[in-house]
Chains A and B, each alone.
Chain A
Amino acid sequence: MGQNAFTNTGKLTRLIFRLDRIRIPLWIIGLAIFTFIVPPTFDGLYPSQQDRDAITSTLANPAMTAMLGPGDLENYTIGAMTAHEMLLMTAVITGLMAILLVTKHTRADEEDGRIEMIRSLPSGRLSYLNATLAVTSGAFLLLTLVIGFGLFGFGIESMDLEGSLLYGAALGGTGLVFAGVTAVFAQLSESSRGTIGWSVAILLGAYLFRAITDLSNEALSWLSPLGWVTKAEVYSSNNWGPIVLMLAVAILLFVIANYLNSIRDLEQGFIASRPGKRNASRLLQSPIGLAFRLQRTGFISWAIGMYVLGASYGSIFGDLESFFEGNEMYQQMLQLSEGASLVEQFIPTLMVVISLIATIPPIMAINKLRGEEKKGRLDHLLGRAVSRSRLLGSYLILSVVNGFVMLSLSAIGLWSAGNAVVENGMDFGMLFGAAFVYYPAMLVMIGLAAFLNGFLPKQTSLVWIYILYSFFVLYLGNMMQFPNWVGQLSPFGHVPQVPIEDATFMPLFILSVIAVGLMILSFIGFRKRDIAN
């Protein structure tokens, strides 16, 4: 032990740096772009202090505080606004980046036997862990500087150098804390899935705990690392204390991870993996049961996510009314279209986004078939008394039901939050209808994915491009005034704008026919082709 435990850490640091030379810059560039598009946008949208003060009223409610954390609404400059609306969310994503980067080079490398190779070479017992932490720390330092100087570079009055660097440091510090959390769980847990699962649970737990305590007792928020992000009060009082706290906690976690690593055996953990089931449950013993079991965790996570997405959109419905009430110009603009209420005007735009997001999990469900094929696991089923139609059918049914559940949950989320904040409540039937007019379009996407699985198995990812295209032309297209046919190339472009328009039968019927046609064709293709791996 002693000195030898760290032998060759430098060389391994270079190795990991080399391995991650694309991944880390991509993360940093992504986070930077995500951050940098905001201040100029706010500057353009709310040029005067008056404009900004006008929207603080829509932000001063518990739902917003729970979501974004407390902000400096008294002195809502561009800087304070950016920090309030963006910093916490960006910090959560930075935490996720830390979890994925650190897991990859700790438990995942260990699980795949790569650390065994490294350890058989003259390298110290703790070298690889510390090389990983060194690279990760370097990445977060770089992130801090890029974000800090980048924000300062906009030359916006309220965004001085100190505040900008603090903004970057809050992100970098969060990253370091979660790098530490992940490094510890990489020692405790026996698998990379477990490491990611536990660390993400801590991240979400920190977020929820902060949300609750921000509303009930702000002092308690100091217990959550994500609470520190808002406590830094970037661009207002510029409090560096939380950053020091983050560094201290990160170092403490690094030390704990090192200690745990030094006292355990390679490929062992401290959280004993529970013995699994000896026998398969009745549910598992069929192709559809297996397909569901394989996607269960993802399905439940998406279901919760869709409900939360719906609820968070729903929670702004109440503020929407009050926001527009005081603003004659907006009122005139929107009243051009019929006598529907403001909320109702917004619903179709909202539903395109929600339904496109809700299309992601069912497409993942059907494309899992191809994923299983590539891993050679379909052979196990087709080598037994399972027909190809039954196999494809199982995945198709799961996908169609999945889409239905996702769309329903987002509508329920939207309604349950909206109903609570809108004065006279909201009609559930109306919201449900507005969501379900998009179901046939979603089925067309599912049908297309199935069709690709049947005929062009190597091109199954094409459906993602089509979904991305739909999102781009229908969501952004509204702002960019594309010609009509551009939107109509997507099935989602043919959906009637309920509740402003009536749900007309013809387009929905035609979409359904196309969807069913694609699905039937997919069976023909799937039954004829080779199963490759």
Chain B
Amino acid sequence: MSVLEVRNLEKKFGKFTALDGVNFEVRSGEVFGFIGPNGAGKSTTIRVLLGILKANEGEVKIFGKDAWSDAVEIHKRLAYVPGDVNLWPNLTGGEVIDLFVKLRGGNNKSKREELIKKFDLDPTKKCRTYSKGNRQKVALIAAFSSDADLYILDEPTSGLDPLMEKVFQECVLEAKNEGKSVLLSSHILSEVEKLCDRVGIIRQGQIIETGTLNELRHLTRTHILVETKQPIASLTELKGIHEVEETEQGLSFQVDTKELDIIIRHISQFGIVKLESAPPTLEDLFMSHYENKGEREVGGVR
């Protein structure tokens, strides 16, 4: 069952088309990673999901309700953390957290205190004095101390230190274990890799790929490092071979994952001494979509 469903979403700002038919869904109980470079339309999509922007075309449903007309009803069960948290300079962090929790309805005092301690925030300081990371903590504490069914997190960790990032990841996993759904937009691909069940990649206002990481990996290349008894003949003539490089450890190259079988068969004829393979990272996956057809140099085997 899907908690969030986006169909053919189109959003124009004047003549500029920001979103050009976006399609994806977030299923109940899953963490969905939403990745794409700056200006691809991530934040615009999220603002449409929140009913802050009105879609020109398409259908956006959250909990089966329309994101624009039923915004208030939806928001009672939804928590949002923006990437750029702008707070009121003359209110304290504690006041803002209370305000946010109260505005959603529902109250979870013990969770609030626990999270304040976990995130190591001083709630008696005015927001004016907070750094970017601390402002993000305010938003995160407000979000996770409310009992939401769907969390929409827009680059929530861009200002956090590694320790706090870990606390954040625990919060997301905890929410997931409780059966909550999460839409996580992020630049930190290792984080997405660690947390997300499924990933959607957006480019120029269109979702160009969705699926589990495993599914997506098939669409990209595997790193291979191989040492053979005899030199491998006519390797570069095979389909799906990229970035061939002689290194001290052996021959390094990348293989389109769907051609892997044929390539390995071919290589094995030359007597394999050593074979190392590494799955593509999300970064490779990401890059493969944004590079100009793989012309760019990618590092060797990791």
B92 at the interface (CB under 8 A from A): yes
Q: Assess whether B99 is in contact with A385, with CB atoms less than 8 Å apart.
A: no
A328 to B114, CA, bound (A): 81
Q: Assess whether A385 is in contact with B95, with CB atoms less than 8 Å apart.
A: no
A482 to B157, CA, bound (A): 62
Q: What residues of chain B lie closer than 8 Å to A517, measured between beta carbons?
A: none
Q: What residues of chain A lie closer than 8 Å to B91, measured between beta carbons?
A: 276, 280, 284, 293
A264 at the interface (CB under 8 A from B): no
B248 shortest CB reach to chain A, Å = 43
Q: What residues of chain B lie closer than 8 Å to A379, measured between beta carbons?
A: 47, 50, 52, 80, 82
Say which one of A26-34, A221-229, A524-532 lies at the interface with B. Answer: A524-532
Binding site of B, secondary structure by majority: helix, strand, loop or mixed?
A: mixed
Q: Which of A193, A376, A388 contacts B84 (CB 8 A)?
A: A376
Output the nearest chain B residue to A281 by Cβ-Cβ distance: B95
Say which one of B31-39, B68-76, B166-174, B184-192 lies at the interface with A. Answer: B68-76
Binary per-residue interface labels of chain B (32-65) against chain A in the complex, 1 for a CB within 8 Å, 0 otherwise: 0000000000000001001111100000000000
A21 at the interface (CB under 8 A from B): no
A448 shortest CB reach to chain B, Å = 24
Q: Assess whether A286 is in contact with B92, with CB atoms less than 8 Å apart.
A: no
B111 at the interface (CB under 8 A from A): no
A305 at the interface (CB under 8 A from B): no
A385 to B148, CA, bound (A): 12
List CB contacts (< 8 Å) of B128-148 with chain A: 128-129, 139
Could you show 18 A-B contacts with beta carbons less than 8 Å apart?
A: A193-B89, A275-B125, A278-B94, A280-B98, A280-B99, A284-B95, A284-B99, A290-B88, A293-B91, A294-B88, A377-B88, A378-B52, A380-B87, A382-B50, A383-B50, A384-B80, A385-B103, A531-B47
**Residue ranges of B at the interface with A (Cβ–Cβ < 8 Å):** 47, 50-54, 71-73, 75-76, 78, 80, 82, 84, 86-92, 94-100, 102-105, 123-126, 128-129, 139
Q: What residues of chain A lie closer than 8 Å to B124, measured between beta carbons?
A: 275-278
Binary per-residue interface labels of chain A (493-533) against chain B in the complex, 1 for a CB within 8 Å, 0 otherwise: 00000000000000000000000000000000000111100
**Residue ranges of A at the interface with B (Cβ–Cβ < 8 Å):** 111, 191, 193, 273, 275-281, 284-287, 290, 293-294, 375-388, 528-531
What are the nearest 8 A-B pairs in CB distance? A280-B98, A276-B92, A275-B124, A285-B102, A383-B80, A280-B95, A384-B103, A278-B94
A531 to B68, CA, bound (A): 12
Q: Which of A111, A285, A286, A530 contacts B52 (CB 8 A)?
A: A530
Q: Assess whether A285 is in contact with B103, with CB atoms less than 8 Å apart.
A: yes
A284 shortest CB reach to chain B, Å = 6
Q: Assess whether A376 is in contact with B86, with CB atoms less than 8 Å apart.
A: yes
Binding site of A, secondary structure by majority: helix, strand, loop or mixed?
A: loop
Q: What residues of chain A lie closer than 8 Å to B80, measured between beta carbons?
A: 379, 383-384
Q: Assess whether B100 is in contact with A380, with CB atoms less than 8 Å apart.
A: yes
Q: Which of B52, B89, B95 contacts A383 (CB 8 A)?
A: B52
A278 to B93, CA, bound (A): 8
Output the nearest chain A residue to B125 by Cβ-Cβ distance: A276
Q: Assess whether A286 is in contact with B84, with CB atoms less than 8 Å apart.
A: no
B127 shortest CB reach to chain A, Å = 9
Q: Which of B53, B75, B128 contacts A385 (CB 8 A)?
A: B75
Output the nearest chain B residue to A294 by Cβ-Cβ distance: B88
Q: What residues of chain A lie closer than 8 Å to B97, measured between beta carbons?
A: 280
Q: What residues of chain A lie closer than 8 Å to B102, measured between beta carbons?
A: 280, 285-286
Q: What residues of chain B lie closer than 8 Å to A384, measured between beta carbons?
A: 75, 80, 100, 103-104
Q: Assess whether B103 is in contact with A387, with CB atoms less than 8 Å apart.
A: no
A380 to B96, CA, bound (A): 10
Q: What residues of chain B lie closer than 8 Å to A191, measured between beta carbons?
A: 128
A377 to B89, CA, bound (A): 11
Q: What residues of chain B lie closer than 8 Å to A531, measured between beta carbons?
A: 47, 52-53
Q: Assess whether B103 is in contact with A280, with CB atoms less than 8 Å apart.
A: no
Q: What residues of chain B lie closer than 8 Å to A193, measured between beta carbons?
A: 89-90, 128
A339 shortest CB reach to chain B, Å = 54
Q: What residues of chain A lie closer than 8 Å to B92, measured between beta carbons?
A: 276-278
Q: What residues of chain B lie closer than 8 Å to A381, measured between beta carbons?
A: 103
Q: Which of A275, A278, A387 contacts B72 (CB 8 A)?
A: A387
Q: Assess whether A387 is in contact with B123, with CB atoms less than 8 Å apart.
A: no
The answer to whether residues A530 and B86 also contact, given A285-B102, A293-B91 and a CB cut-off of 8 A, is: no
A284 to B76, CA, bound (A): 19
Output the nearest chain B residue to A376 by Cβ-Cβ distance: B86
Q: Beyond the given A287-B103, A383-B50, A386-B75, could you list 13 further A-B residue pairs with CB under 8 A, ordered by the A residue number? A: A191-B128, A193-B128, A277-B94, A280-B98, A284-B95, A290-B88, A293-B91, A377-B88, A378-B52, A380-B82, A382-B51, A383-B75, A384-B103
Q: What residues of chain A lie closer than 8 Å to B100, measured between beta carbons?
A: 380, 384
Q: What residues of chain A lie closer than 8 Å to B47, measured between beta carbons?
A: 379, 531
Q: What residues of chain B lie closer than 8 Å to A386, measured between beta carbons?
A: 72, 75, 103
The answer to whether residues A385 and B105 also contact, given A294-B88, A379-B50 and a CB cut-off of 8 A, is: yes
